[in-house]
Structure 1
């Protein structure tokens, strides 16, 4: 249950004085001042650069030795095998909701993985069959069979089919889970790859249909065609029968851009209304250009920080992530959703826009989709979701109705039909197994189509939402999932999860593995909704950008302090977990407040923030963190960069760091160097590197299960085996 606001407020007021006392008695060490010639502040002072050689002989020997040690320790624990079998049963279970995707003809597609299809199978059925207890699926493409036939470790990265009949498709295949993909043309009517069809060699980038014989492609076209972030800088038009070097260039960005790509904006009947080029200047700012019939381009008058969300009833729907004055003279705020009549606006950029949504201070839009006639929006208030349906009135204004769905849960807007106004909506909570609703956006009704049985025993468990007070006074919400009879004496093994970046929200969701491998065994699970995320919209994210990144770290630390102040847990029983940007979170906690924790699971992390922009896709994140090549920005990054701030003589717990050799987004060198530096300073470290899997670290389900079992074996050893603080 979620406690009443009055009771939560009472508990919060009690905890604030305790948290203040904790901060007074155990002052947080200030992040280090920029040290100029200190450890790893230049290539000359970094003794572990060789670990950045992804497949280097010396580096891989180091990886193999550490894998042998860490796997020996963790798999040697008598509890590992039980955890592994439980994880394997969950991830390979067929008792899951098949994620549905509408086709133009009303049929349903799904991509499915299980014990018999570890790489997965793309399959299809009718809507009526999908709604039944036992849908009759037809296989479209079997990735396991394809991998076996071609001797490849293919990982399916999605497909794009040409409207309106969606017979011809572009299939993206990754070798081992990398972001870079090979694109191949596929005929879903014959269920075979097209002989002599479009084939694009492995590269980061994209491909989009214009018509049956024409693609817009953004790829690695050779030297000088990629940005410093490692993504395409050039968009070309490729005609059937042409080689890639014969394709016509229609747009070229700048080397300092993040990426450029092309796509078509289509109406509900699949008719192209505009062909667009997206130029990503940085991670958050960009330009949209219209590709004209004569091959020229015209820059559209949109905010630098904005997203095109939908085209519905001829209305172009856009979200602005900045305060903006439109060419019409209208002023809009950060987070507003606005709309124009597309044809009028393309003809005259000064055409007035209509305000569709203006979220409140504690509201955030987490998803926008459209059916044939409606705009469907997942709108959250204080991290609890609802779904609203919007439609333009004859006057041009937009009215809204609320779908009849459960309250105080996470809602997700899924695939929407462009034949009618049906849309799938997912509903879940920390203790509520996922349910899938099929909603009629026109009628405002929603019916349960699928629901999952419980995957762990949640009897007696409850969910509470609290607020911690960050260093600058900001109230930071967080969720605690625990047994109702939990003793408030600091004795509870507690796992605190965080991410805190890129406007990515951590919303309540049902995790069978967290439930089975942690909660059911008596653990407490906590999720921190810190700044840097998107829980309260763009402003919540922007409050922790660049020079203000430390605010997000302080928010996370404040949640840890609040958990201890409430006697939910204590330092010997508190562990943290996060991946990617969340791995940076873990590094900041480790180097700034190691006195608060006794375990850290650091997943595919960013760690060397003075070199992040030089490694793989790192340059694309300069808008989030700043540029280490700019002295002023380097100074604020160096103060918190975990790699440079590791010190001897600190109360660091033994940490578990894991990464993937095939990760071509966050370089595995971050994790390797973190482990090497900790060992040099005399700390025990468990390090594991999956030699497949990409950034998601799961090229197949067996590897996913192994990773989960390793993590929870480690957490059991560190938190459940330790006595609580006196």
Structure 2
């Protein structure tokens, strides 16, 4: 599409969108917010029946489904390790254990490649025995002995979970042990016989976001109702929690109050009193090692004689902090092309993950003669590096390396010796022959350069356009980096198509500044960035509007929802998964109130004015020519309310627009509760994309 035509489409579309489609307070579909209401579920089941009949009839559906199932349940996937007390722990799902098993092995056996796993808990068997739809929700084990754990079990994959104490040595739940009913609880070990706990106590004990606002200490053998209150936040906070953090053998009790999604007040809790840690509200504690407290800065900060820049990692001694006179010093300052994306600690070292122009790097830091010394680890280049697990009794750690055409490889490393070795590698799930990866840039509406990765057939010439899937997220300082996906590769790339990942503003690819550039009244920048990448792909002759599709989930679902309502002529396929779409009521639905720091408060007329400009639900028009959008959600998603997708679909259908919808009755915010559901939803999505974007398997 030429620039002239692109601008013409923009102005024509803008002329349509200035006319409001629905009055702000006129919502005929509030009844769809009744998550498990009989009428709402009947509506969802009817839409499922209609849409699934269409999608499953695609000639590729069966083969896509079969291949996706093989990939997600294959036994040759990496069993990612969690180090506890020198042993390896792993949670595993496969075709025989669709809900999963929690298991352990020795480090030596794990290194050798084929350990005899010792199964600790079989969630499939537990679900059958207790007649519950259990989904694993993690385990928190008691340091330093790791003999007792608090295990989370969620019904259908919701965030709310039951918490039960488990004896790791006897392999059984503890009778009369710590137990909490289903809620979005917070529970953390302090010592053998006490925990920090926050849960739904009734009587205004939750925040407006639905999370605990009280921290209590619960002594073993006493009723939870008698747990001692040690801290209480405000009703409009996001959450409050208590946690014990260990620095080798030294414990530190912390209370964290989150007034907003990106603000925190930290307190040391000792001798029955709380002591505020004097750091900026938007800073984040990153750990404690060698008596040094680590802090990540999200904005510039002047303290004493020191001036620290946004994005820095700084430290202060616990000794000076306990005396009330902390002195901070710089550990690491990213450059303008870098972003700090992860801080981990071993027994003696800090491991810092860095993105450099969206390529992964690892650095280690040690304290020597009162100063921080930095070393760059010799990790593989041109991919994504993630620290998987660290050891608190040594400087050993595991990290993962991956790229678009490189299957994940797990490395064991020693941060002190800068040594590493490959432990596991996944096999290739698709043929990469003839495929190449490039990093390109588009120029957004305000002139900002937006980088993006493209995976395409080598030698693709201008004008030889291909069906193209464009993905992005653009929110909450989440970075989207190169990754290997057997499903994308086998379902899309192997068939001669193109995949693109855009690093738009709102994410964390270039640190806090990249995220903050698209907050609240500047949200349109994220949408403009995605449009810029889409237009750049068309301008370069890689694809056409008829062959271009976009995909996003959660905040990414909002992203693609806003973009297709603003620029419907630019795309022929839209996949919006577990999305936010009704931005007038998002803060009143489930955990939505916690995201007002990202989007703004719709109840404030000044803030609603800019939210109203992009809210997908409020910018639908009967006479617009939208592509046939595919929305997916989950009944059991208790983070982003399924009513967002429900109401959007109902409104579009009322206007006469063709739309597809699938609501998984379980699955939580991830959309799928087990591997079989993941494979099924993937087959639905790629059947839809092939049908919409052309090629020999396109729908008529």
Q: TM-score, normalised by structure 1?
A: 0.94
Select 1:568's aligned residue among 527, 542, 559: 542
C-alpha distance in 1 between matches for 2:434 and 2:464: 19
Change (3 A) 1:188 1:472: same
8 A Cα contact 1:572 1:723, kept in partner:
no
Matched, 1:66 2:41: no
Q: CA deviation at 1:289?
A: 1.4
Q: Structure 1, residues 276-318: CA drift from partner, whole Å, max 9, x if none?
A: 111000000110112221x221221111011111211111111
Q: What does the per-residue CA deviation read over 1:577-625, in whole Å, with 9 as the maximum and x for residues that have no partner?
A: 0000000011111111111100001101000001100000000000000
1:415 maps to which of 380, 389, 394: 389
Contact 1:572 1:722 in 2 (8 A): no
Q: Which structure 2 residues correspond to residues 241-320 of structure 1 after superposition, within 5 A?
A: 241-269=221-249, 271-272=250-251, 274-293=252-271, 295-320=272-297
> Which residue in 2 is equivalent to 1:231?
211
Between the aligned partners of 2:671 and 2:653, the Cα distance in structure 1 is 24
- 1:44-98 CA deviation, whole Å, 9 max, x = no partner? x111111111111111111010000111111122211100001100111111111
Match of 2:10 in 1: 27
Contact kept in structure 1, 2:59 and 2:697, CA below 8 Å: no
CA distance in 2, matches of 1:265, 1:389: 21
RMSD of aligned alpha carbons: 1.5
Q: CA deviation at 1:133?
A: 2.4
1:392, 1:533 → 2: CA distance?
A: 31
Name the residue aligned to 1:650. Answer: 624
Partner of 2:59: 78
Does 2:299 correspond to 1:322? yes
Mapping 1:629-648, distance limit 5 Å: 629-648=603-622
Aligned to 2:101: 121
Query: Structure 2: any 5+ residue segments left out of the alignment?
Result: none
Which residue in the other structure is 1:161 paired with? 141
CA distance in 1, matches of 2:59, 2:567: 31
Counterpart position of 1:146 = 126
Q: Is the Cα contact below 8 Å between 1:34 and 1:638 reproduced in 2?
A: no
Structure 2 residue 179 is matched with structure 1 residue 199: yes
C-alpha distance in structure 1 between counterparts of 2:586 and 2:535, whole Å: 29
Q: How does 1:76-115 map to 2 (within 5 A)?
A: 76-104=57-85, 106-115=86-95
Residues of 1 paired with 2:17 and 2:71: CA distance?
46
Is 1:549 aligned to 2:549, yes or no? Answer: no
Pick one of 525, 528, 537 that aligns with 2:511.
537
Q: CA deviation at 1:25?
A: 4.1
Distance 2:264 2:327 in 1: 22
Match of 1:517 in 2: 491
- 1:577 counterpart = 2:551: yes
Question: Are the counterparts in 1 of residues 113 and 423 from structure 2 also a CA contact under 8 Å?
Answer: no
Q: Give the stretch that moved more between structures: 503-512 or 238-247.
A: 238-247
Q: Is the CA contact 1:335–1:538 (under 8 Å) kept in the aligned structure 2?
A: yes
Shift of 1:223: 2.6
- 1:437-476 CA distance string (max 9 Å, x none): 1111001111111111101111110101000000000000
Give the equivalent residue in structure 1 for 2:37: 56
Count the aligned residue pairs.
697
**Offset of residue 34 of structure 1:** 8.2
Instruction: State the 1:486 CA deviation.
Output: 2.6
Which of 183, 187, 209 is equivalent to 2:163? 183
Q: Is the 8 A contact 1:33 1:638 kept in 2?
A: no
Contact 1:492 1:524 in 2 (8 A): yes
Q: 1:280 and 1:599 mapped to 2: Cα distance?
A: 38
1:119 partner SS: coil
Counterpart contact for 2:10–2:567, Cα < 8 Å: no
With structure 2 as the length reference, what TM-score do the two structures score? 0.98
Tell whether the 8 Å contact from 1:478 to 1:527 is kept in structure 2 after alignment.
yes
Cα distance in 1 between the residues matched to 2:202 and 2:554: 29
- Flag structure 1 segments of 5+ consecutive residues without an equivalent: 1-17
Report what 1:211 is aligned to.
191
Tell whether the 8 Å contact from 1:125 to 1:135 is kept in structure 2 after alignment.
yes
